[in-house]
Structure 1
Amino acid sequence: MKFIDLFAGIGGFRSGLEMAGHECVGFVEIDKFARRSYRAIYDTEGEWTEHDIRAVRASELPRADIWTFGFPCQDISVAGKQKGFAGKRSSLFFTVTGLIRDLEEEDRPSILLIENVKNLLSINGGWDFLKLQVELDEIGYDVEWDVLDTAEVLPQHRERVYIVGHLRGRGGRKVFPIRRGNEQAISQSEQNTNTLTTRYGESQGSGLNVVEPKPQKVKQIGNIVETSSFGGNPQVGRVYDPEGLSPALNTMQGGGREPKILIKEATKKGCAEGYEGDSVSFSQPNSKTRRGRIGAQITNTLETGLNQGAIIKVKDTYRLVINGIEYAIRVRKLTPLECWRLQGFTDEQFYKAQAVNSNSQLYKQAGNSVSVPVVYAVAKHLNINA
């Protein structure tokens, strides 16, 4: 089927849909840096395109079976001002539905594929999500939705709500819940956050400021144990600022694990323990309520800035010897390439974008993107002839 890629970003929807055999016939993206990456990655020669969705006229849109749009989430995200659809950016959802209203029924897309942050379901007491359903119902679409977690397919915990609208009268099978190859539904309790499907529903017939942390040195901010404990060794309880680098840490016998690094969190203990291979989130470094900074062998949700690190083992001059191996434990930042990989883009796609953009833009673009394998999992089930 043919599709139009609205709020295209770097083409996460496009990659996933093309993997499933669909064809892009046009795209809209206002950010000039994202457009650079998009054009570098995909063959857009001769495709219809527009910069600003507000400048688009329905009459100029190419015919397409699917419209995809991850409309701006800044007014909906828990990190934003929580204005919901009253905000200028997230209200662009209604700009898209306005275009559909201006089309004759035979020219309307058969399927709408929409993505946004999980908070869309609950912001303003759930009234905004109800408005979304009513709006889609009024323009002729039956709606189903699900919360999908990237952690099911990639090592990044990233819950997003995916909404599929089916134009009444065109047919089309249900998409959710997404099923594995053995046809068992990927659906578990909401207590399990590392699952692809945590909520399923349907209705029928009715900004962040990008601040890049600059860790230049070790920053100890406290100690959670008395010096009389552990033989008077204060090293065990030292808590380090998540904006800084960690020094080499001595191992403590009997723990059964490799040396750990302590990261400040708003918990009773005051910190979380991280080990080699864990991720560390640097988001909101001065927050007094922030939890979940450590990702156990998985990254927390990527955002638009340089806010993720990884605990790694490196050779060093501290002469820390464990099991005959001399090394130090430290936290390093994820590279732009690693962030793109965590969203499911290929290295080839990344290097094409890297050739036309700075690292700060590449971080931002990865954080703003949808996860390609999740889109692919949904796109495989899109059908208007069932």
Structure 2
Amino acid sequence: MIIRFFDMFAGIGGFRSGLAAVGGFECIGHCEIDKYANQAYNAIYDVRGKLYFETIDPNELSDLDLICAGFPCQSFSVAGKRLGFADDTRGTLFFEIARIARAKRPAFLLLENVPGLLSHDGGRTLDTIFSALVELGYHLEWCVLNSAHFGVPQQRRRLYIVASLGAECAGRIFPLASGNAENLKELIPGPQGQRVYDPSGVACTQCAGSGGWGGKTGLYFIDMNPNPIITDHARCITARQDSGVSNHRGEHTAVLVEDDAPRAILTPDRETVRQQGRRVKEPDEPMFTITAQDRHGVVHHGRIRKLMPIECWRLQGFTDEQFYKAQVTGLKDGRLYKMAGNAVSVPVISAIGRKIKEINDEYHITERMKNNG
């Protein structure tokens, strides 16, 4: 039985892509207030004959079985001010989900947010969300999942909530079986743009035309001095001068040896920026969580290259074809980066979607909801 879903706060369609990969799901429409994200969405997907809203009128919605929503997380994230419902209108957008759920009574809800939601305001924010859903008759499951365990080399922990009007679903979704992400596999070395990678890993990409630190095609020597100088050669190593390798004097009378394997690096020109307490990862570790505000790159043999927009989209599980469909509409690199940072990871949604479909096929929950009116 086909599960008809509505894509709320759709962004660039991570939920839609994830469910389409499973099969047995049909998108009846979407809502998205950001005009650039909606521009990309309309380019990627066939929206002919589908509903579109900026402000949703339930009376205009056809019957549906599932609401998908990665409701805005900035007000709950540890990276933001954590204002929650009290002082940030983005936080109150959860109640839009509840409003539509009350009016349309879908059999399932699939929600995504940051793990910070679990602890926000001492747990009272999550209690408010769960209480609202329970009052509507939903049974709840939730789990924090890492995208790195679902085939994309990015550390991205997110909270996923599945709500169902059928009691049979409760306790059946989580935990999910997952596999480890494939590491980058270089088959043929060479200059950027000519290297050939195994398709099971992260492929090479065309470079953006942006300027700034690490924004162009070339790789740059890392200099941690306050006024860095880009050069192909290391500084003169002395005992009493900071050569940019560390902040401690007397530690530069040696050779800095780097691993052959590339490492992920976060916002290289801002030493104070950290994710998981680090700016640089160990070789072959997954990338840092892709965010809308940070800059991500790869450091290799003392040089750094900024991640290109298409690579950020790949790190969220989108295809190259989807990226190019969005890019060709005239979207600038900055917006393409932001869209990737705000997106939901496609393979994780596919894994959850498969479980929802299996349970619905077994217990006919959506069909029973329709028969009960």
Distance 2:253 2:351 in 1: 44
| TM-score (norm: length of structure 1) | 0.71
User: 308, 313, 334: which is aligned to 1:340?
Assistant: 313
Summarize the Cα distance change of 1:278–1:160 in structure 2 as closer, same or farther, 3 Å threshold: same
Question: Who is 2:246 aligned against?
Answer: 239
List aligned pairs for 1:23-42, cutoff 5 A.
23-42=26-45
Deviations 1:72-129 (A, max 9, x none): 011011111111122210210012202222x2xxx41100000000101111111111
Question: Who is 2:115 aligned against?
Answer: 118
Question: Who is 2:15 aligned against?
Answer: 13
List aligned pairs for 1:128-147, cutoff 5 A.
128-147=125-144
Question: Who is 1:156 aligned against?
Answer: 154
Distance 1:250 1:165 in 2: 60
Question: Who is 1:76 aligned against?
Answer: 76
Secondary structure of 2:126's aligned partner: helix
User: 336, 341, 349: which is aligned to 1:362?
Assistant: 336
List aligned pairs for 1:240-255, cutoff 5 A.
252=255
Question: Who is 2:288 aligned against?
Answer: 300
Check whether the contact 1:77–1:119 (CA below 8 A) recurs between aligned residues: yes
CA drift at 1:170: 7.7
Summarize the Cα distance change of 1:259–1:288 in structure 2 as closer, same or farther, 3 Å threshold: closer
Q: Which amino acid aligns with 2:14?
A: G
CA drift at 1:156: 0.5
Q: After alignment, is 293-302 or 89-98 more displaced? A: 293-302
Distance 2:40 2:74 in 1: 22
Matched, 1:331 2:333: no
Secondary structure of 1:374's aligned partner: helix
Relative to its length, the structure with more strand (as a share) is: 1
Check whether the contact 2:140–2:163 (CA below 8 A) recurs between aligned residues: yes
Distance 2:7 2:139 in 1: 21
Summarize the Cα distance change of 1:78–1:283 in structure 2 as closer, same or farther, 3 Å threshold: farther
User: 259, 262, 265: which is aligned to 1:280?
Assistant: 265
Secondary structure of 1:129's aligned partner: helix
CA drift at 1:294: 1.4
Check whether the contact 1:213–1:306 (CA below 8 A) recurs between aligned residues: no
Check whether the contact 1:306–1:333 (CA below 8 A) recurs between aligned residues: no
Q: 5+ unaligned residues in a row in structure 1: which ranges?
A: 182-211, 223-229, 241-248, 261-274, 314-328
Q: Which amino acid aligns with 1:308?
A: H
Question: Who is 1:351 aligned against?
Answer: 324
CA drift at 1:312: 2.9
Deviations 1:334-363 (A, max 9, x none): 000100000000011111011111111100
Question: Who is 1:309 aligned against?
Answer: 297
RMSD in angstroms over aligned alpha carbons? Answer: 2.9
User: 211, 218, 221: which is aligned to 2:225?
Assistant: 221
Check whether the contact 1:213–1:282 (CA below 8 A) recurs between aligned residues: no
- Paired residues in the alignment total 301
Check whether the contact 1:13–1:372 (CA below 8 A) recurs between aligned residues: yes
Deviations 1:226-285 (A, max 9, x none): xxxx98596887239xxxxxxxx99848xxxx526xxxxxxxxxxxxxx74111111893
Q: Which amino acid aligns with 2:26?
A: E
Question: Who is 2:234 aligned against?
Answer: none
The percentage of counterpart residues that share the same residue type is: 40
Check whether the contact 2:140–2:170 (CA below 8 A) recurs between aligned residues: no
Summarize the Cα distance change of 1:333–1:231 in structure 2 as closer, same or farther, 3 Å threshold: closer
Summarize the Cα distance change of 1:48–1:75 in structure 2 as closer, same or farther, 3 Å threshold: same
Check whether the contact 1:58–1:100 (CA below 8 A) recurs between aligned residues: no
Q: Which amino acid aligns with 2:50?
A: E
